[in-house]
Chain A
Amino acid sequence: MSAVEVAAPPAARSLPVPFRFLRSELGLIARRRRNQAGLAVLAAVPIIIAIAVRVSSPTSSGGDQGAPQFLSSITGNGLFVALAALALEIQLFLPIAVAAVAGDAIAGEANVGTLRYLLTVPVHRTRLLAVKYAGIVAGAFVATVTVAGTGLLAGLLLFGGGDVTLLSGTTIGMGEGLLRLLAICLYLTACLAALGAVGLFVSTLTEQPMGATIAIVMFNMVSWILGVIPQVDWLHPYLLTHWWNNFGDLLRDPVAWDPLRGGLLSAAAYTVIFLSAAWARFGTRDVTS
């Protein structure tokens, strides 16, 4: 049987099927119980926010100096539940979600022994990194949209929609408000994708996915911590997380583009540097797992 099929024209065997592996990778991430549970936790936060604001007395919103961004606007428009949830979760929960997927990328395959079999299929190492990174970015997008979507739904149910009063005081329609929410999701996905690039690099360094995930979360935490120490303010623009909270600038009229541009540039720089590092490291590494 093998002799016959080998004799078949090579063209028949080398049909380009570029997205089959990517689809398999996305399925692997999506079907993993741990990831499903993580997504549920992400979705729970905006629901908790919405219910908490709903059941609390409306007068308590007077002194909200220390309260998270957007929380005081929720009673006016349910859309702000999504924004408040994003502002809260971008600090830790969303980075943890990205770290879990990214840490698993190479180290997870090495840990269960599938890495050696993928490479002998063969999957070119660069292609493996590309597919893994695409999976991380898709995961970051799904996580962000889950938070925003659940928040939007819970907010609309409990507080209703209507015109959106922007941070600059002007008012826009609900339709444009939704568009701006989508833009915010894309901006945060770009930010998280940069963290994902760091994570992919870390994942090529070890065979322990949990260790890689913890290292990525710690990288993120250190970045936040350095960001609140005024003595190192010269360092702040170079911190990955420095730009993340700028997503609120998409809620001004006109949009304050400069900080957003800075955030995207920073994310692009981190992404390029760490993807290159991952490639340099993984492209030549001896796979002994």
Chain B
Amino acid sequence: MTAFAVESCGLTKRFGRQVAVNAVDLAVPRGAVYGFLGPNGSGKTTTIRMLLGLIRPTSGGHALLGERMPGGAATVLPRVGALVEGPGFHPYLSGLDNLRRLDAADGTARPATADARIRAALDRVGLGAAAGKRFRAYSLGMRQRLALAAAMLAPRDLLILDEPTNGLDPQGTREVRSLIGALAAEGATVLLSTHLLSEVEQVCSHVGVMHKGHLVAQSTLEDLRAEAAPRARVETDWPEDAARVLRELGVTEVTHEAGRATGLLGQVAPEKVVAALVHDGVPVRGFAVVAADLEEQFVALTGEGFDVSG
């Protein structure tokens, strides 16, 4: 038993001349809630499809829960719940019948417990009352919930969830977040693909960032935050003088605007900054050391916001 629930080595996928995923080395520790971040078109979904054996990598390989894929699919996939690129169900069957069909397809599922498991999954996502409705009558949020229920039909050791809060209202988003927390508390590993940074900040323990097919960063959320260089922010009526003092102390990238001066602290101790400012007679109204937020880091890593990468 390896320490990783998901482990890939040089995972690469080419579609014609386009390299969709380029030598990705994922390492998702067991028990982690791993936020898989990246702009649209950065290769997240292609990677997830490869992880689940839906598409074949051009080169490289991976293992799920310590089993080599795709050879181990029959034994390992029953322990993996997946939500890939949105819900997919038969429109003219009810939510309940759709789940029954998926359960019937699972050769490892026990038919005796099917009804109880399906009911429990539906209740867990709050769809108990709408179970008998046809899928085509479901709203986008209900469809998303049904897909989550399908991922929880059996006890899972690993959940691979591609944008699970897509289409959910704020209440639903909160529920899904707490659901992910509960699953993790039960011991499951969660790989959560998303482009919502707030989601990552609230539920994830680990982060991987995709950009143009490359995995450009992968670490614990803590480490990623620690990497963020802290900035000193001085609020004052004399911003130009404050900026001068900061520069003299060795603070870099100093900028100033009306009422405020900021700069990268580097090795400079914050208390020395305050002392120097007071010593020079700069009236300080406020002083703070702020870490760059995740969004700024994300932009720094991917060199862009949420534009679609070509």
The chain A residues found within 8 Å of chain B, CB to CB, are 1-3, 5-6, 12-18, 20-21, 23-24, 28, 31-33, 112-124, 284, 286-288
Contacts and interface: CB of A to CB of B under 8 A. Distances in A.
B219 to A, nearest CB: 27
Given A123-B106, A286-B54, 9 more contacts: A6-B157, A16-B107, A20-B111, A28-B93, A112-B88, A114-B90, A120-B52, A120-B84, A122-B53
B49 interface: yes
Contacts of A3: 186-187
B191 interface: no
A6 B79 contact: yes
Interface string B93-115: 10000001110111111110000
Q: Please give me the 5 A-B residue pairs with the lowest Cβ-Cβ distance, nearest first.
A: A113-B88, A286-B55, A2-B155, A24-B104, A122-B77
Contacts of B77: 120-122
A119 B88 contact: no
A20 B85 CA distance: 27
A121 B84 contact: no
B54 A116 contact: yes
B176 interface: no
A288 B55 CA distance: 7
10 contacts: A1-B186, A2-B155, A2-B157, A2-B188, A115-B88, A116-B52, A120-B77, A121-B106, A122-B77, A288-B54
A121 B78 contact: yes
Contacts of A123: 105-107
A124 B84 contact: no
Contacts of A17: 107, 109, 111
A113 B104 contact: no
B89 interface: yes
Contacts of B82: 117, 120
Given A21-B105, A124-B74, A287 B49 contact: yes
A31 B90 CA distance: 12
Contacts of A118: 102, 105
Nearest to B46: A288
Contact of A120 (B54, B56, B86, B188): B54
Interface in B211-225: none
B156 A2 contact: yes
Contacts of A284: 56
Given A12-B110, A21-B104, A117 B84 contact: yes
B14 to A, nearest CB: 11
Contacts of B108: 13-14
Contact of A121 (B92, B93, B105): B105
Contacts of B181: none
A287 B88 contact: no
Contacts of B80: 120
Contacts of A6: 79, 155, 157
B64 to A, nearest CB: 11
B258 to A, nearest CB: 53
A92 to B, nearest CB: 26
B196 interface: no
Contacts of A115: 88
B150 A113 contact: no
B73 interface: yes
Question: Which of A2, A115, A284 is packed against the most chain B CB atoms within 10 Å?
Answer: A2
